C-alpha cells in the first residue's frame, strides 16, 4: 500500500514523506519494526512513543507518524492526534474489515466477558454463522483462540483481528469495550450494530478519577452504536438512556417500565430461570450459571439478540445450551466434601455479587481468598475488605497482581475496611499459600471462593509476569494430600 492511501481520511498537518512510498505494515511498538514499516508514535499514559523514534529508525522504519517533528533524520507525517491516526490508518491498512461484520460491543464494570460469550453462543446457535469474539479472557476467530493482552486491543490489533474474522467467514463479531478503549480512541471508526451496557460500579478511578468521568466514558459507546441496550436497574441506566441518541432497548428485573423484564425469577444452585416479558411476548428462560447476576447477564443477551432480529423462542433454546465461562463462577472439581469456586471478582460490586450468590446456596461456611491490584484504584481496597467481612465467614486476604507495590501495604488497606467486624481473617501475601491454607481449613459443606484472578494464569510482581494458575495450585494440593494419605 502506498503511504498516500494509508493516510486517506487522516488530518495531516505536515508531511516530508513521499506520497508514493510503499508501506508493508505499521507498528506502534518500536521493538517490532522491520524495513518497510511505518512507526506511529503514540503519546500514552505511561510512556510517550516519541521517545522511541530513534529506536524505530534504527530498526528500519521507513517513515514516522507523529505529533511532534522527530529529531532524527527520517520522513515523517505530522498529525494532531497520533492515537486517532493509528486507528484510521489501521482501518485503511486492513481494508476497513469492520464494515464487513455485524459488530456488537459490550461495556460495563462487570459482566462483559460472560455477556459477550453468551451473545456469541446464541448468535451461532440461532444463525448457524460464525461469530468472532474479542475480550478479557481470549480472542476467538473461528476455531482459533488467541491469548488476550487487554480487554480491548489497541486499534491496530483490533482491525487486524477484524480482518482475520472477515476472511475466515465470520459474519458477526462481539467484543468487550472497556472505558479505557473508549476514551483513548481504540474503537475509532467502528460502528456497532448494538452497544450493550451492563452496569457501573467503582473501578478504574485511578484512571477516570471520578465516577462521573467513568460513566461518561462508558456513554461514548452509544455515540458509535446503531442501537443501545441498557440495564435500567443500574443507577447509571436512566442517564445513559437519555444520553443515547440511537434507538434504546432497556432491560430490568425490577422495573416494569423496561422493554424487557424478568419475572418469576428462580435462583437455583446451578442455574437461574425466569420469564422474559416483552411487549406482547413472554418466554421462559433458563441459564446454567447460578446467581442473580446471571439473570442480568441473560437479560442483556436476550435484549441484544432481539435487537439483532432473533425471536424469544430461538433465544431461549440457545440460552439453555450455554455453558459457563472460565473464571466466572467456575466450580472446580475437587476430591473433597466441600466446593471450590474461582471467580474474576476484582471490584467491590463483583465481590459482593459472587459472595451473595454463594450465600444463597452454601450449606456450610464461606471462605473467601482475595486481594487487590497494585498501582490501581486504592479507594476500593477497604470497600472490598468490608464486603468480605460482611458476607463471608472467614476471610483470607492475599495478593492479586501487586505490581511494584508492597503486597503487605495493599493488605493493610484492605484490612482497614474490616475493622469493626468480628469476622475472622488471615493475611497471607503469597497467593498459592493462601489458596492452600483455605483448602486445608475448609470443612464439609463449606464453599471456598477464590476471587480476583478468574481466568488469569499469572501474577504480576514488580514488572514481571509470573505463571500462577490457581487450578494448578488446587490440583497440586489434592495430589499431595492423596500421596500423604497413602503413605
Asked whether residue 46 carries a pLDDT value surpassing 80, the answer given is no
pLDDT per residue as tens digits for the range 9-30: 999 999 999 999 999 999 999 9
C-alpha cell at 95: 481494508
pLDDT per residue as tens digits for the range 100-125: 999 999 999 888 999 999 999 999 99
**The pLDDT value given to residue 185:** 82
C-alpha cell at 271: 442455574
Higher local confidence (pLDDT), 269 or 39? 39
The CB density around residue 326, as the number of other CB atoms within 10 Å, is: 16
Please report where in the chains the cell 476430591 appears, as a residue: 335
pLDDT per residue as tens digits for the range 444-483: 999 999 999 999 999 999 999 999 999 999 999 999 998 8
- In this predicted structure, which of 162-171, 172-181, 224-233 has the lowest mean pLDDT? 172-181
CATH for 330-486 (3.90.1310.10, 3.40.50.11540, 3.90.190.20, 1.10.3720.10): 3.90.190.20
Euclidean distance between CA atoms 242 and 317, whole angstroms:
33
Continuous H helices in 308-341:
312-320
**The pLDDT value given to residue 77:** 97
**66 exposure class (CB count in 10 Å sphere: 0-12, 13-18, 19+):** buried
- In this predicted structure, which of 93-97, 180-184, 345-349, 444-448 has the lowest mean pLDDT? 180-184
Asked whether residue 208 carries a pLDDT value surpassing 60, the answer given is no
Q: Which of 194, 191, 117, 189 is nearest to 156 (CA)?
A: 189
Q: Which of 214, 145, 158, 149 is nearest to 183 (CA)?
A: 214
Q: Which residues are 104's β-sheet partners? A: 174, 194
The CB density around residue 412, as the number of other CB atoms within 10 Å, is: 15
Continuous H helices in 1-154:
3-6, 53-58, 82-93, 112-127
CATH H superfamily, domain 97-320: Mur-like, catalytic domain (3.40.1190.10)
Separation in Å, CA 30 to CA 33, 87, 149, 169, 187: 5, 17, 18, 32, 22
For residue 50, what is the DSSP state? G
Asked whether residue 282 carries a pLDDT value surpassing 70, the answer given is yes
- DSSP result, 385-398: HHHHHHH-SEEEE-
**The pLDDT value given to residue 149:** 76
214 band by pLDDT with thresholds 50, 70 and 90: confident
**The pLDDT value given to residue 215:** 87
pLDDT per residue as tens digits for the range 369-390: 999 999 998 999 999 999 999 9
Please check whether residue 363 is in contact with residue 338, taking contact to mean a CB–CB distance below 8 angstroms: no
**The pLDDT value given to residue 486:** 80
**The pLDDT value given to residue 465:** 92
Asked whether residue 207 carries a pLDDT value surpassing 70, the answer given is no
**The pLDDT value given to residue 408:** 97
C-alpha cell at 198: 451492563
Domain locations in the chain as residue ranges: 3-93, 97-320, 330-486
**The pLDDT value given to residue 209:** 64
**The pLDDT value given to residue 101:** 98
Euclidean distance between CA atoms 56 and 74, whole angstroms:
10
CATH number of 3-93: 3.40.1390.10
**The residue count for the chain:** 487
329 band by pLDDT with thresholds 50, 70 and 90: confident
Euclidean distance between CA atoms 60 and 348, whole angstroms:
47
pLDDT per residue as tens digits for the range 128-162: 999 999 998 889 998 899 988 777 889 999 999 99
| Fold: same for 3-93 and 330-486 | no
pLDDT per residue as tens digits for the range 394-450: 999 999 999 999 999 999 999 999 999 999 999 999 999 999 999 999 999 999 999
Across the chain, mean pLDDT equals 93
206 band by pLDDT with thresholds 50, 70 and 90: low
Please check whether residue 283 is in contact with residue 312, taking contact to mean a CB–CB distance below 8 angstroms: yes
Q: Which residues are 48's β-sheet partners? A: 43
Helix, coil or strand: residue 421: coil
Those residues with Cβ within 8 angstroms of residue 416's Cβ, 6 or more apart along the chain or in another chain? 381, 382, 385
- pTM recorded for the entire structure: 0.82
**The pLDDT value given to residue 337:** 93
Amino acid at each position: 500500500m502506498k503511504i498516500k492511501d494509508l493516510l486517506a481520511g487522516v488530518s495531516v498537518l505536515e508531511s516530508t514523506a513521499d506520497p508514493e512510498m510503499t508501506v508493508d505494515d505499521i507498528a506502534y511498538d518500536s521493538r517490532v519494526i522491520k524495513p518497510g514499516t511505518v512507526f506511529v508514535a503514540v503519546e500514552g499514559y505511561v510512556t510517550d512513543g516519541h521517545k522511541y523514534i530513534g529506536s524505530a529508525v534504527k530498526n528500519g522504519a521507513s517513515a514516522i507518524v507523529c505529533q511532534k517533528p522527530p529529531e532524527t533524520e527520517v520522513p515523517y507525517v505530522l498529525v494532531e492526534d497520533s492515537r486517532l491516526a493509528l486507528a484510521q490508518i489501521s482501518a485503511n491498512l486492513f481494508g476497513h474489515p469492520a464494515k464487513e461484520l455485524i459488530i456488537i460491543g459490550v461495556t460495563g464494570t462487570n459482566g462483559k466477558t460472560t455477556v459477550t460469550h453468551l451473545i456469541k453462543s446464541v448468535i451461532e446457535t440461532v444463525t448457524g454463522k460464525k461469530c468472532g469474539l474479542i475480550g478479557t479472557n481470549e480472542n476467538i476467530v473461528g476455531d482459533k483462540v488467541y491469548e488476550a493482552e487487554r480487554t480491548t486491543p489497541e486499534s491496530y490489533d483490533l482491525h487486524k483481528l477484524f480482518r482475520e474474522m472477515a476472511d475466515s467467514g465470520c459474519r458477526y463479531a462481539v467484543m468487550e469495550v472497556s472505558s479505557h478503549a473508549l476514551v483513548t480512541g481504540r474503537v475509532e471508526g467502528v460502528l456497532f450494530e448494538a452497544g450493550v451496557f451492563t452496569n457501573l460500579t467503582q473501578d478504574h478511578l485511578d484512571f477516570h478519577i471520578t465516577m462521573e468521568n467513568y460513566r461518561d466514558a462508558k456513554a461514548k459507546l452509544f455515540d458509535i452504536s446503531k442501537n443501545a441496550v441498557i440495564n435500567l436497574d443500574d443507577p447509571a441506566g436512566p442517564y445513559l438512556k437519555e444520553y443515547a441518541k440511537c434507538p434504546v432497548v432497556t432491560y430490568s428485573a425490577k422495573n416494569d417500565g423496561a422493554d424487557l423484564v424478568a419475572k418469576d425469577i428462580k435462583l437455583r444452585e446451578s442455574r437461574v430461570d425466569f420469564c422474559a416479558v416483552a411487549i406482547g411476548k413472554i418466554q421462559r428462560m433458563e441459564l446454567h450459571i447460578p446467581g442473580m447476576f446471571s439473570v442480568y447477564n441473560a437479560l442483556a443477551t436476550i435484549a441484544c439478540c432481539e435487537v439483532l432480529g432473533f425471536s424469544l423462542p430461538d433465544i431461549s433454546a440457545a440460552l439453555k445450551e450455554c455453558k459457563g465461562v472460565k473464571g466466572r463462577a467456575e466450580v472446580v472439581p475437587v476430591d473433597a466434601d466441600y466446593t471450590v469456586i474461582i471467580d474474576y471478582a476484582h471490584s467491590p460490586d463483583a465481590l459482593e455479587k459472587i459472595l451473595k450468590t454463594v450465600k444463597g446456596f452454601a450449606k456450610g461456611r464461606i471462605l473467601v481468598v482475595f486481594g487487590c491490584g497494585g498501582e490501581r484504584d486504592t479507594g476500593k481496597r477497604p470497600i472490598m475488605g468490608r464486603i468480605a467481612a460482611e458476607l463471608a465467614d472467614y476471610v483470607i486476604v492475599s495478593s492479586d497482581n501487586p505490581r511494584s507495590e508492597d503486597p503487605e501495604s495493599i493488605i493493610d488497606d484492605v484490612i482497614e475496611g474490616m475493622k469493626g467486624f468480628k469476622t475472622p481473617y488471615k493475611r497471607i501475601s503469597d497467593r498459592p499459600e493462601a489458596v492452600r491454607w483455605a483448602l486445608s481449613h475448609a470443612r464439609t459443606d463449606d464453599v471456598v471462593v477464590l476471587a480476583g484472578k478468574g481466568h488469569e494464569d499469572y501474577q504480576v510482581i514488580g514488572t514481571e509476569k509470573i505463571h500462577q494458575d490457581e487450578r494448578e495450585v488446587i490440583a497440586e494440593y489434592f495430589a499431595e494430600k492423596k500421596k500423604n494419605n497413602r503413605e
